[in-house]
A and B are shown apart, each in its own frame.
Chain A
Amino acid sequence: MKPAKNNGKSGPSLHKCPTGIVGLDQITNGGLPRGRPTLVCGGAGCGKTLLAVEFIVRGATEFNEPGVFMSFEETSEELAENVRSLGFDLDDLIRRKKLAMDFVRVERSEIEETGEYDLEGLFVRLNHAIDSVKAKRVVLDTIETLFAGLTNTAILRAELRRLFLWLKDKGVTVLITGEKGNGTLTRQGIEEYVSDCVIMLDHRVHDQLSIRRLRVVKYRGSTHGTNEYPFIIDEQGMSVLPVTSTRLLGHPAATTRISTGVPRLDTMLDGKGFFQGSSILISGTAGTGKTSLAAAFAKAACQRGEKCLYFGFEESPAQIIRNMRSIGINLQPYVDKGLLQFHCTRPCLYGLETHLTIMHKQTEEFKPTVVVIDPVSDMETAGSVQDVRSMLLRLLDYLKGRQTTTMMTSLTPAGDSVNHSVAGVSSLIDTWISVHEIEMGGERNRGLYILKSRGMPHSNQVREFVFSNKGIELLDVYVGSSGVVLAGSARLAQAAREQAEDAASKQEILRLRTQAQAQRKALEAQIAALQAQALAQNQAVEHLAAQDQLRGVQGQADRTAMARSREADVAAPAVASPQRGRHL
């Protein structure tokens, strides 16, 4: 009795009998132990019988394993009536020899006991039923009723022990239901005999909201999820939410990028947008455009031909479509094409776990690549902060596991710090975009920045984001000298002011340049004048010098002539004279 641990999906060492119940087979790594008894216990109205019926019906319809349903509480007719609303047609299965039903009625007032007896009659009936349809599955619902009908518990216990051994020998997979007892799993301690697998169901009401949960208490020879898993019962039967937080490490990490639906936002995210399969949070105060961003994201997904599932907790689908149309995001065509599906409920309608289960179920059915939850903060009305966190953790974990990109919006109470949003889910978020209001100059505008974005370089700038009838646009904001971000008309005013300043400074330059030119010209003129003056002076000097020389030559000549006339002796320096005369 010590088989190797069943490691996830590969190589099951223990034969499993799939229940066909959504989620339960995942938790139990493939189903109930084949050929062995499983005990399903819980309080009144927790869904034990339903689980048992579904086990039998799915076995007969989906796995071609006929079953026997032995009821100790309800007649076959009552039971068939009760489960018809879930789409189970027991009468049809009986006709097709896929199901044998037997109602065992044990009424204490109608039974007198004397001496020794056994439960061989029950064995005979069960054996007969099993043989009549060649059953592989057997349900005993609720066998403990026998204790109410028969007084000799010593015999009963011995016989039940024998019954389970006998059923094991028969090789049928048995599901036994049992009512929760005081401090024990079942009233009569049936768990003592059924030790292979025990599943406990629970239906509790917290803050007027009912939550159904399932837990695998033990599963001999197999690994199994040990948490409490929420489940729902709806028109398709039971579905368990198999989300566990242990799968986290197994997430694939895609490198594919997908558009945010706002081109400028893509640019801020390294030019490529979000990672596929990442979780995105858009937090902000009321009316900052969270839903619009989500709608743009949803539209972008649909434009790529992908499926988007939109969970709304505040507005109806019609209202979202109408409102988004006003900013140029028309979602209706995608709804018509079946690419976009809305699922809108009030958060207070169910408990958190039920929400989670429904979201899980919808996702499984619709198989979207993109999921929008708008807004996730509304969940806080359905549970405590801790519960919301735990629920989101499991939801995101699940969505991540199936590579679904998830965008959640979250309302931050005004005046609160940005980090408050959604119960500190920050650690679960890959890309966190914060939208906030910028209030100044008598108006209110929207600012956007990326708080974090794992695995990519991203812009650290605040952008103003504006709506037009063409969609969402991101604009640079002006940061004034005092560090104040300017947006809206302040931004426009600032832009105008800067433009004016720009023009003014250009004119000034032109003026200065002209002035400089004029000055240079004046200086040049002055320089020319001075040069002319200098030249003139020089010429005058030269002229005087020439005159002077001329005068000297003339004097010499005069003196020579005079001497000649006086017949005087001359030293004769007359050679240079003709040269100098030519120079002048």
Chain B
Amino acid sequence: MTRLPKKIKARARKPQPAEVSSDLWDLRLYVAGRTPKSVRALENLKRLCEENLKGKYHIEVVDLLQHPHRAKIDQIVALPTLVRKLPESMKQIIGDLSDTEKVLLWGGISSRNAKSSPAGTDGEGA
């Protein structure tokens, strides 16, 4: 969990990749402490991003135990919750992100995946 603050700091550089918005995935993962579910979610997310969005993503982890007021601001109910800031979407995805297919579909992340993994072909044909 010591990595978390670094990630949040990294987010401060956000304006830079914003210029190439279509190429950058800015993701925010809400957790509450280091629970098995949150650890699993973060692992799943990182693996997924490394596999499909290498160099084109940014993950911010928000620990609500330390920033409880953010739960209200961002309308968080369930945990873990993953929010897509860029490309902008209102839709949250909740859970431990174990269903890779679903996460990719939700994130609009498919092109790379389709090339590298045959399992993803049925997701996006174009």
Contacts and interface: CB of A to CB of B under 8 A. Distances in A.
Interface of A: 102, 104-106, 109-125, 127-129, 146, 149-150
B99 to A, nearest CB: 4
A112 B102 contact: yes
Given A104-B75, A110-B90, A124 B96 contact: no
A112 B93 contact: yes
A114 B68 contact: no
A115 B37 CA distance: 9
Interface in B20-74: 30, 32, 35, 37, 40-41, 64-65, 68-69, 71-72
Nearest to B68: A128
Interface of B: 30, 32, 35, 37, 40-41, 64-65, 68-69, 71-72, 75-81, 90-99, 102-103, 106
17 contacts: A102-B72, A104-B75, A110-B91, A111-B91, A111-B93, A112-B93, A113-B95, A114-B93, A117-B94, A117-B95, A120-B64, A121-B64, A121-B78, A125-B68, A125-B77, A128-B68, A129-B72
A115 B106 contact: no
Best-surrounded residue of B40, B80, B92, B95 (most CB of chain A within 10 A): B95
Given A114-B102, A115-B95, A125 B71 contact: yes
A89 B81 CA distance: 35
B66 to A, nearest CB: 10
A115 B98 contact: yes
Best-surrounded residue of B37, B72, B96 (most CB of chain A within 10 A): B72
Contacts of A104: 75, 77
Contacts of A122: 77-78
A149 B77 CA distance: 10
B62 to A, nearest CB: 11
Nearest to B74: A121
A105 B76 CA distance: 9
Given A120-B64, A122-B77, A150-B78, A115 B32 contact: no
Contacts of B72: 102, 125, 128-129
Given A125-B76, A128-B71, 6 more contacts: A105-B75, A113-B93, A114-B96, A115-B95, A116-B98, A118-B79
Given A121-B30, A128-B71, A114 B98 contact: yes
Contacts of A113: 93-95
Nearest to A100: B72
